[in-house]
């Protein structure tokens, strides 16, 4: 009777341990020959923020990582697959791997992998007599010197014909100069026509929206904006505003900072604003473009 109670308590302990550790590993085989591949998979049976490890292999460096696949999400389960191989025979231990779930560390079990050599029976290899030397067939490389001469002759003929038949009078192509503000407003209109919001391409939408605003600032106010971070750009505008009398209102600068920071949250923090917020940022961007003071007005004030 006491022995049964011990078995029952042991089973309960195993079940409790399995429930506490949501991380498990699956390997398709633990014995391969040199050069064969192993399918190694880590599964997480828990929802939340999961960070899979950069795989740590055996201490001798004999087991190699061939490929690491993206994480698969299956309902409440996350799976990460790896392909491993080895080119040295022996027995190697794949150590425990650390997986972070909601910033809490869990560990997989270690695994032992056996790598065997490929046996070659040289006694059963059939021997063949040495074959006579045969002439190789002509290939494309044999005609390359002749091809270069043909191309040179054709180039000379084409050059002569060009100078003979070219028109004496060349039509001048008119250069259309578009004001930066008109260009920016036209790009806003084209952005609306792409219907990126209807396609749920929020990140691309904010990237193009902020690029329109930054390009206008760089072209018309001569402030480097495309390669600057949001904080760097706002600080630069404030400095120029004080030193060069740009005349940009604090409200416009505040609105510009709001649009750029919202775009940064979408692009880098995977924020997902609602449609009303996105449309508000679009209209706010147009108002910012209208309120920014053109550079030519600054020149007039200096003169």
- pLDDT tens per residue across span 64-76: 888 888 888 877 7
Contact assessment for residue 90 and residue 62, using Cβ atoms and an 8 Å cutoff: yes
Cα–Cα distance, 36 to 221 (Å, whole number): 62
Is the dihedral angle over the CA atoms 13, 14, 20, 21 positive or is it negative? positive
Q: How far is CA 106 from CA 16, 22, 42, 256, in A?
A: 15, 8, 12, 44
Here the tokens at position 51 are 């960070």
The mean pLDDT of the chain is 80
Pairing of strands 72-74, 98-101: unpaired
The SS3 assignment for 21 reads: coil
Token pair recorded at residue 95 = 């150590």
* In the predicted structure, residue 11 carries a pLDDT above the cut 60: no
| Cα–Cα distance measured from residue 98 to residue 25, given in angstroms and rounded to the nearest whole number | 12
- Calculate the dihedral angle through the C-alpha atoms of 238, 240, 243, 248, rounding to the nearest 10 degrees: -70
Q: Of 40-44, 142-146, 153-157, which has the strongest mean pLDDT?
A: 153-157
User: Pairing relation of β-strands 63-68 and 77-86?
Assistant: antiparallel
Which tokens is 108 given? Answer: 């997989």
Instruction: With beta carbons less than 8 A apart as the criterion, state whether 288 and 252 touch.
Output: yes
Report how far Cα 135 is from the mean position of its chain's Cα atoms: 51
pLDDT of 229 reads 92
Alpha-carbon span 269 to 271, nearest angstrom? 5
**What average pLDDT does this structure show over 11-19?**
45
Domains of the chain, each with CATH number or no CATH: 15-116 (2.60.120.570), 180-302 (1.20.120)
How do residues 35-82 score in pLDDT, each as one tens digit? 898 998 888 887 778 888 888 888 888 888 888 888 888 777 888 889
């Amino acid at each position: 009777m006491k022995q049964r109670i011990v078995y029952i308590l042991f089973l309960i302990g195993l079940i409790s341990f399995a429930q506490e550790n949501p991380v498990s590993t699956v390997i398709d085989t633990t014995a391969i020959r040199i050069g064969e591949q192993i399918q190694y998979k880590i599964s997480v049976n828990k929802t939340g923020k999961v960070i899979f490890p950069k795989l740590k292999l055996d201490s001798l460096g004999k087991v190699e990582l061939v490929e690491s696949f993206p994480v698969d999400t299956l309902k409440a389960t996350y799976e990460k697959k790896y392909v491993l191989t080895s080119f040295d025979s022996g027995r190697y231990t794949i150590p425990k791997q650390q997986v972070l779930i909601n910033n809490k560390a869990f560990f997989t079990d270690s695994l032992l992998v056996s790598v065997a050599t490929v046996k070659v029976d040289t006694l059963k290899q059939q021997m063949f007599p040495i074959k006579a030397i045969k002439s190789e067939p002509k290939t494309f490389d044999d005609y390359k010197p002749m091809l270069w001469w043909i191309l040179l002759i054709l180039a000379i003929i084409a050059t002569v014909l060009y100078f003979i038949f070219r028109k004496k009078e060349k039509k001048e192509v008119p250069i259309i100069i578009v004001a930066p503000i008109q260009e920016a407003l036209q790009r806003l209109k084209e952005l609306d026509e792409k219907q990126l919001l209807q396609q749920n391409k929020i990140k691309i939408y904010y990237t193009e929206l902020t690029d329109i605003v930054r390009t206008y600032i760089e072209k018309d106010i001569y402030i480097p904006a495309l390669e600057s971070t949001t904080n760097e750009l706002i600080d630069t505008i404030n400095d120029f505003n004080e030193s060069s009398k740009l005349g940009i209102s604090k409200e416009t600068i505040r609105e510009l900072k709001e649009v750029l920071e919202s775009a940064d949250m979408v692009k880098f923090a995977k924020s997902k604003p609602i449609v009303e917020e996105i449309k508000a940022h679009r209209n706010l961007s147009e108002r910012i473009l209208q309120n920014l003071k053109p550079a030519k007005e600054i020149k007039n004030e200096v003169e």
